[in-house]
Amino acid sequence: MKRIFIAARSNPEHMAELFRSELPAHEVFTQQPQPGDAPVPYIVVGRPTPGVIAAVPGLELVLSLNAGIEHLLASGEVPDHLPIVRLVDDGLADGMSDWVLAHALAWHRNLATYADLQAKREWAPQQEKLARERTVAVLGAGALGSQVAGHFVRFGFKTRVWSRSGRPIDGATSFAGRPALMDAVSGADILVNLLPMTSETANVVDATVLNALAKGAFFINGARGGHVVDADLIDALDRGQVSGAALDVFRTEPLPAADPLWSHPKVLLSPHVAAPTHAHTAVAEMAENIRRFERGEKLPHLVDRTLGY
Ligand code: NAP
């Protein structure tokens, strides 16, 4: 009987129950196994407690509870020979799509402005544009970026997508690699960041990128705080170059109470909830990956340690 160790920090028993119904022939447990125990080929883990992974005997595959795995690589907790599968499931992609589109459409249709005007009992129609008159630039064309970009296309926005390889998205214009970054963002009204956190993508949203956007553009960050130079963003907001920002992720989480982003009038904050892991969709995907692994099939979404995602 193959064994699966659920090392999730939040509600591991619930996840174990879901695994048991997906894979009834496997032994699923939540207690830390010890060296010398029977082999445990699979671990399901988000942010590992130091030493947890190393203590698992006979590990063959690491199933990440998150789409972003930079913390797993940076921690050095996963030995080089062990494959890591990122979490890619429709729960994450649908969650991120809702969150990004909610902010983009609210900005596009001036909802915050009308809320302010309502509070003052002011009847003041704003200049209303059509989606087709707005340009959106999405950084990242992966599991999340490609779905989000597809929604923007369907709403009628002029949509650009920037990725390492220039991955094509129906109805959008694709841009490949660092030399094309400025072409991708120049004049965009909405900038959406859905990149993975790697040495190449750190600090990518800086003054140069923000200044290249259309005057008064809106910025949406659903990826990682380390992608953004916060001082450059605050400066761009203060100058009106960027008219607002929706931020779900931060360099330090929870965001420290003294951070100026908390009180910035043009910033909308959420506590890293854009696309939380939903146990039922995540377990279905991870169980399918275990079946694929046991059939000797190639696993989708294996982390490439050289690229860092
Ligand atoms: P993914 O499928 O790995 O896609 C990554 C995309 O970024 C790919 O299109 C890739 O290009 C592109 N990329 C990588 N390095 C690049 C570079 N140096 N220059 C240009 N493009 C680059 O990742 P995902 O599943 O969409 O997730 C994206 C990120 O979202 C995660 O890493 C995580 O940090 C974040 N996230 C946040 C939340 C939340 O709740 N806020 C939830 C889930 C995920 P190629 O297509 O050429 O490979």
Nearest to 18 by CA among 279, 213, 303: 279
Assess whether 60 and 157 both reside in one domain. no
Assess whether 137 and 229 both reside in one domain. yes
Q: Ligand 1 within 6 A of 226 CB?
A: no
* 35: pLDDT strictly greater than 90: no
Is the bond preceding 254 in cis, omega lying within 30 degrees of 0? yes
Assess whether 99 and 22 both reside in one domain. no
Number of domains in the chain: 2
> Distance (Å, rounded) from C-alpha 283 to C-alpha 6?
11
pLDDT in tens, 119-174: 999 999 999 999 999 999 999 999 999 999 999 999 999 999 999 999 999 999 99
CATH number at 26 reads 3.40.50.720
pLDDT in tens, 40-69: 999 999 999 999 999 999 999 999 999 999
> Distance (Å, rounded) from C-alpha 268 to C-alpha 23?
42
Ligand 1: residue of 163, 174, 185, 272 to mutate (most ligand atoms within 8 A of CB) is 163
Segments forming the whole domain that contains residue 77: 3-89+278-295
Ligand 1 centroid–CA 97 distance in Å is 14
Q: How far is CA 299 from CA 52, 108, 243, 295, 303, in A?
A: 24, 39, 42, 10, 10
Q: Ligand 1 within 6 A of 176 CB?
A: no
Task: Give the model's pLDDT for residue 9.
Answer: 92
Q: Ligand 1 within 6 A of 92 CB?
A: yes
If DSSP codes are grouped into helix, strand and coil, which group holds residue 200?
coil
Q: Ligand 1 within 6 A of 37 CB?
A: no
**53 located within any domain:** yes
